[in-house]
Every structure is written in C-alpha cells, then in structure tokens.
Structure 1
Amino acid sequence: MKRLRTYNSANAWLSAEMVGNYSWIHQFSAPEIAELELAAIKVLDNEIINLSCEDFELPTLDPILQSIRGDVVDGHGFALLRGLPVQQWSLELTARVYWAIGSRIGLPISQNRVGNLLGHVTDMGGEADHPNQRGHQSSDALAFHTDIGAEIVGLLCLSDARSGGESALSSAVAVWNTLVTEWPEYAKALTDTFFVDRRNEIVPGQDPWYELSIYYPTEQNLISSFNPSFIRSAQRFADAPRLSKLQNDAFDKVNELANDQRYKLEMDFRPGDIQLVNNLVVLHSRAEYEDWPEMERKRHLLRLWFAVPGGWPMPEQLMARHGKDLNSGRPGGVNLEQGATLNTPLTAPALRT
C-alpha cells in the first residue's frame, strides 16, 4: 500500500490549541455595528440578490473581514463573529447586514434545487435521514460532517433552541493525520470513490447520486468531503457499489475521533453570532434540540454557502459534483430544477415529503 502523508498545517489543530485562544473570535465593536447598520439601511429598498460587495461601504471592517477570510481559507479554518444585535433589528435589515459581511468572504451559491442563496436552518418537521429532506430541516442530532456544496459555510444565529442544539467543530486534517499514523488502512479506504445520494435534488440528465471520495490528499492541501449518511442512503440505488466492512468501519472511526475531546471544539453559539467554517477542512456537528413552543422563538439560523474565487485547486470530482459556478469558476451549488431561479427568501421553503 502506498504510504500516505500527514499534513503539518494550521488547519490540523487539536481542541486544546483553540480553547482559551480567542484569536478565532471577533467581537463586533459599537462603531463596527453602526457601520454595518448604516450600510444595510442604505440598501433596504434593494433586493438582496442584486447586492454585491460594491454596494456596501465598510471602510473600518474591510481589512478586518479580509483578515478573517484569510484565516478561514488558509489558517485554522474557522472563525466566530460575535455580537450583532439581531434581536433589535428587523429580519430585512439583519439579512442585509449578513449579506454585506458575506460579500467579503466569497460568492453565495445555491443550497437547494429551488435556488435559495440565503438558507434557513430551522425545524420544519423534517428528518435528517429522509430521502427527500436534509438535516437542517429537522431538530435531529447531526453527526460530524461537511456540507454538500460549499467551500465556506456561514451560519448566523437569529434565535437559539430552548435546549440542545450545541455546535461543535473538528479538524478533518487532524483526524486524517491520526488515521495515517495509527489506522492507515482506514485512511486508504477513505480515498476510495463512493456514491453519494442527491436526496432527490435532481435535474434532467443527472443520476440520483454523484461520485466523491472522503479525503483528497493533494500536494498542496488535504481536502475532505465527509457526509457518510448521504453515502449510506445511496445504497438504496441498485447500481451503487456495496459498502465494505472496512469502509463502514472507517466512517465510524472518523466520527469517533471527531467526537474525542482531543479533537472536538465545542462552540458557544448565541443569537447575533456568525460562524464561518472552511468546509474543505473542518467538520461540524449539531446536538439534537428541543424548540420553544412559540413559533417566533424557534431556533433559526441563516445560512450562506460560499464559493471562494482564487481558492485552492479543487479535485475534479468536487468540480463535477454540481458543476462549475459561472460567476466564480469554482465548484457550484445545488443545480436548480426546471423553472427555478436564484433567490434570497426571508422564510424557509416548504418541506418536501
């Protein structure tokens, strides 16, 4: 078996290195919040989808957000931006503030087949394992994974749950390094090609699955795409190769290591916080949660998926998963069904049964 390499990079962190190290947290100051609020107020009459970086004047925050972007892309792979007064703002204003910040991070891409660029992570009564639904539409626990179409994932917390819903991160690179050192047979198995379920988000000419590896050990960077629940649900297709015991055991070992306290970084995620995660190198998870009975208090996050112009060279399978985004030349988001157009809704789309 060809010897696989480890990676000595900033994104190969262990949790002890991050706990008590607050370099990855930015607390918005009052002047910064005022700058964001003014920039968003100026474009309240404009449709969000038509707004770009040039529409928001952020002279104070621009260098700060540029530094944060650099750390998410080429540093340890995540950041927490804290303290937006979302409970004092209208949703229309909050969404534009979020879009302004996002415009400094990357280019938004589609998160589903109806073309949502602005996604809603809230319990719609869905089930994480349902073949037509996705985990963000449920209150289920979500095991460590990467999202299915982004280079960077952004989450803005509008309101939190009555209990549960805690967020955690784990370095896919640190997990890989341990696999290579202690379980090389698992590391090798995770470079195999797997069938991944599209969960019925299919456009004409597409198969109901696509092919991906979980780890891509490239010369420059280690890239990960870890979503074993979508791989396992693809076993419902007759033409999907059957998973071996070694492959299933390798999935479980990644999850076991990611949950180990040496690797797992638990994040205090509050209303007004934005979590930015490099989806190529950092795994994220969510605990099961119980919601408030009042609709207006339900746990609700706004999500953005970003392509990163000028980002890392990408494996061909990741470029082919949803095709190339024409605006950025980077991997695109979920393909749109016939008749759908890109949009930025302020409410969650209906649940598909």
Structure 2
Amino acid sequence: MGPTLADSKATTDLVNIPPRQTGPNVWYGPQVASQESTWLFILTAQELAELEVAADRIVEDSAVSSSSSTLSLRLLSSLDNNFNLKNLRARIDSLVANNLNSGLGFFVWRGIPNEWSHARKCAAFLLIGKCIGNLRQQNGKGHVLGHVKDLGLDSSDPNVRVYQTRERQTFHTDSSDVVGLLCLRTAASGGHSSLVSSATVFNEMLATRPDLAHRLLLPMAKDRRGEIPSGCLPYFNIPVFHWYEGHLSAIYQRQYIDSAQRFPTAKRLTKEDVEALDLFDSLCDDERLNFTMVLAPGDLQFCNNHALLHDRTAFVDHPDDKRHLLRVWVAPEGARPLPPVYAERYSSIKVGDRGGVYVPGVEPVAPLHP
C-alpha cells in the first residue's frame, strides 16, 4: 500500500484539501458514451435559419474577398441589437446552464451544413461562441478564431503549441473557461476527440494515493511556450487541482510542466511530483474513465475546461485535404469562481473577463485561415 494522507501532511498543512467529489460532472466514460441523448443535440431548422442570416451579415460587414482574410468583429459587440437570434439564444442558454456549468461539462451540437461557404461557417462559429460568452484571444497574434491544423511543426520546439502539429495532444485543459471546436474536415485516420472528468480523476487518486493527490494541490512551474505577457516570467506557478468556493477545478498540460524545467529559476520537479503527474496521466488514459468520440464535419463541441480534460489522438492527413477544426475560447458570464492564483495564466479572475493569451498592443482578430 502506498503512503497515506498522514505521510504528506507536512507539505499540505496550508492547502485547502478537497473532499471526494459528487455530482453530474463526476462520470465514467463508458456510462456517458452510452447516454448520447444527454450530450448530443441537433441544430433545428429555425436555429439554422437564424444562424445563416446572422453569419451572412458578418461576412458582408467584413467585405470578405481575395484581399481580405479576416472577419469583422464589429457586429458581435451587440448581438441583441444586431441580430434576431431568439431560438438560437434560448438553446444556447439552456446548454450552457445545464451542460457546461452544472451538468456533464460538455455538449456536442450537430448540423452545420457542409455546403455552407468557409466564411459563413467561420462567422457562424464565432457567433455561437459569442452567444456563450466573451471571446478570448488564443495566441500572441490575438486570434479569437483559432485553426487547429497540422502546420508541419514539432512540439519538441518549446515555442510550438501541440495543436499546431499532428501529434497526440495528451489530456489537458486550455487557458479559458470554455473551449469550443467546429469540425470542418477530418483526417484520413485518427484525430479523434477524447474527454475525461477531472473530478473523477481526483476521486480515483484520493482513493488510491491520497499523498499524490495532495501533491497536485501544490504549485508547479508551467511553460508559457514563448507567449509571455509584459513583466511576466516565461513560466507561471500553479497547482493542478484547486478547491475554491465549493468547486474543484483543474488546469493541466503535462508537456508544458515538463518543458518549464528548461528554465533555471523554475521550481524543480521532485520524484514525488513526477510520480503524481504520472498517476494523473495514467488515470486520464484509463478507458474506465475516459471516452472518445468522432467529430464529423459540421459538429460543434464545447467543453468546460475547469471540469474536464480533453485530448486529441494523433492523426494522418489526406495528401491534399488536411484535417481542420476551428476553435474558440470563451468566458461565459455565469462561470464558476476561480482562485486568485489563476490570474497567473488568466490575467484576471473576473467572471466573463478572464482567460486567453494577451500581449500588449495586440488587438483581437478573426483570421479565416491559419
């Protein structure tokens, strides 16, 4: 039997120890996979009609042409004044309240037509993201519309983020309250989406190795991968698990924890830290806990980063038609409170105005292509 809570008490006396988690966001993959009706929804004709009209107005306002490669964000600043979205907004409000904030922590919405133009799909996706909350910049270039596509890069480069490669991502969270994806094109093989409940992973660790669960409540250095806000270190210090105002939240990307060790001033990972991270990874990879879905073109997936971790399997592209997903990071107004330490990555912990990657002087932009 491994060490017990008493064995790690000396290093966790000042840590707010979470209890075993309960509720709908504590789930096991095979069970959730068999209950599609709780997380898979279809866009109705009324919702699509509203979305099409609004998306076309955005495209028209952007004057998209061969010389214009970005969408205007002007009309998104006031949705209710600029668009008639009664049915769409009602459905989104329900999904955010019942799935993202207080339910399983995710949903899939199916039905963006394949025959829509690329610009219309991009505009529609931005519009849905904005209906959920405030759009956040995803990189140092200010992109609020991200493109998940293999750019021929390698994650061994410390300034490359894994979504820019065709490698497996491993289970992780993004630096926002909510991450949304719209599948445009699938790979020849692989590239599937996997989800796991961070509360379930915590419960499993607490039951088998409480000393290692508590180790993940202590700060570890995490690499910023070259996207460094003014006045900040190239890494930040944050625990994996946080128990704050009745919510267990997780923030995790193993590659970035490991690569932060390249900085001489970063806190060194101990043998116990590595053991805790390895156990965390093995539980995320356990098919008893996670499940994998295949996103088809036109499918939207939205996940609560504080309640779930997500993964993308490695993939092989078609020679002339690469796998391509759009991505948004969103800060909803009704999201859970976060502890002050999240400001290390989120810039702010103010609900509705937090998360993303901000570089001074860089304005938000919505590029139509990577």
Q: Same fold (TM over 0.5)?
A: yes
Determine helix, strand or coil for the equivalent of 2:284.
Answer: helix
Paired residue for 1:84?
Answer: 112
Tell me which of 300, 304, 310 is aligned to 2:334: 310
Shift of residue 329 of structure 1? 5.4
Worse-superposed segment, 163-172 or 39-48: 39-48
Query: Which runs of 5 or more residues in structure 2 are unaligned?
Result: 1-8, 63-71
User: For 1:125-148, what per-residue CA distance to the aligned partner results, in whole angstroms no more than 9, with x for missing partners?
Assistant: 11223211101100001111111x
Worse-superposed segment, 170-179 or 198-207: 198-207
**In the aligned structure 1, how far is the partner of 2:318 from the partner of 2:352?**
42
Tell me which of 218, 223, 229 is aligned to 2:249: 223
Determine helix, strand or coil for the equivalent of 1:62.
Answer: helix
**In the aligned structure 2, how far is the partner of 1:74 from the partner of 1:250?**
28
Paired residue for 2:220?
Answer: 194
Tell me which of 192, 216, 237 is aligned to 1:166: 192
Tell me which of 56, 61, 75 is aligned to 1:46: 61
TM-score (norm 1): 0.92
Question: Does the alignment pair 1:93 with 2:108?
Answer: no
Amino acid at match of 1:107: N
Paired residue for 2:136?
Answer: 109
User: For 1:150-183, what per-residue CA distance to the aligned partner results, in whole angstroms no more than 9, with x for missing partners?
Assistant: 1000010010111111110000000101111111
**In the aligned structure 1, how far is the partner of 2:106 from the partner of 2:50?**
24
Worse-superposed segment, 122-131 or 111-120: 122-131
Question: Does the alignment pair 1:320 with 2:344?
Answer: yes
Shift of residue 242 of structure 1? 1.1
Shift of residue 83 of structure 1? 1.6
RMSD: 1.7
Shift of residue 325 of structure 1? 8.0
Tell me which of 161, 165, 170 is aligned to 1:143: 170
Determine helix, strand or coil for the equivalent of 2:170.
Answer: strand
TM-score (norm 2): 0.88
Shift of residue 42 of structure 1? 2.9
User: For 1:194-228, what per-residue CA distance to the aligned partner results, in whole angstroms no more than 9, with x for missing partners?
Assistant: 11111111243121111111000224110000112
Paired residue for 2:367?
Answer: 345
User: For 1:333-352, what per-residue CA distance to the aligned partner results, in whole angstroms no more than 9, with x for missing partners?
Assistant: 11225x4221011111xxxx
Amino acid at match of 2:24: A
Check whether the contact 1:129–1:229 (CA below 8 A) recurs between aligned residues. Answer: no
User: For 1:13-64, what per-residue CA distance to the aligned partner results, in whole angstroms no more than 9, with x for missing partners?
Assistant: 1113312212111112333222211222233222432232323322222221
**In the aligned structure 1, how far is the partner of 2:332 from the partner of 2:352?**
9
User: For 1:276-334, what per-residue CA distance to the aligned partner results, in whole angstroms no more than 9, with x for missing partners?
Assistant: 0000110101111011111xx211111000112232111111123241288x6532311
Determine helix, strand or coil for the equivalent of 1:104.
Answer: helix
CA separation of 1:129 and 1:281: change in aligned 2, threshold 3 A: farther
Check whether the contact 2:39–2:107 (CA below 8 A) recurs between aligned residues. Answer: yes
Paired residue for 2:27?
Answer: 13
Shift of residue 245 of structure 1? 1.4
**In the aligned structure 2, how far is the partner of 1:315 from the partner of 1:203?**
20
Tell me which of 317, 329, 333 is aligned to 2:356: 333
Paired residue for 1:275?
Answer: 301
CA separation of 1:150 and 1:125: change in aligned 2, threshold 3 A: same
Tell me which of 257, 262, 285 is aligned to 1:236: 262
Check whether the contact 2:220–2:237 (CA below 8 A) recurs between aligned residues. Answer: yes
Check whether the contact 1:171–1:282 (CA below 8 A) recurs between aligned residues. Answer: yes
**In the aligned structure 2, how far is the partner of 1:195 from the partner of 1:241?**
6
Worse-superposed segment, 239-248 or 36-45: 36-45
Aligned residue pair count: 342
Worse-superposed segment, 35-44 or 245-254: 35-44
Check whether the contact 1:116–1:345 (CA below 8 A) recurs between aligned residues. Answer: yes
| Large movers: runs of 4+ above 6 Å | none
Paired residue for 1:74?
Answer: 102
User: For 1:93-142, what per-residue CA distance to the aligned partner results, in whole angstroms no more than 9, with x for missing partners?
Assistant: 11111122112211111101111111110000112232111011000011
**In the aligned structure 1, how far is the partner of 2:349 from the partner of 2:278?**
33
Identity among equivalent pairs (%): 35
**In the aligned structure 2, how far is the partner of 1:63 from the partner of 1:310?**
15
Question: Does the alignment pair 1:30 with 2:45?
Answer: yes
Check whether the contact 1:322–1:335 (CA below 8 A) recurs between aligned residues. Answer: no
**In the aligned structure 2, how far is the partner of 1:287 from the partner of 1:230?**
18
Shift of residue 4 of structure 1? 4.3
Check whether the contact 2:183–2:296 (CA below 8 A) recurs between aligned residues. Answer: yes
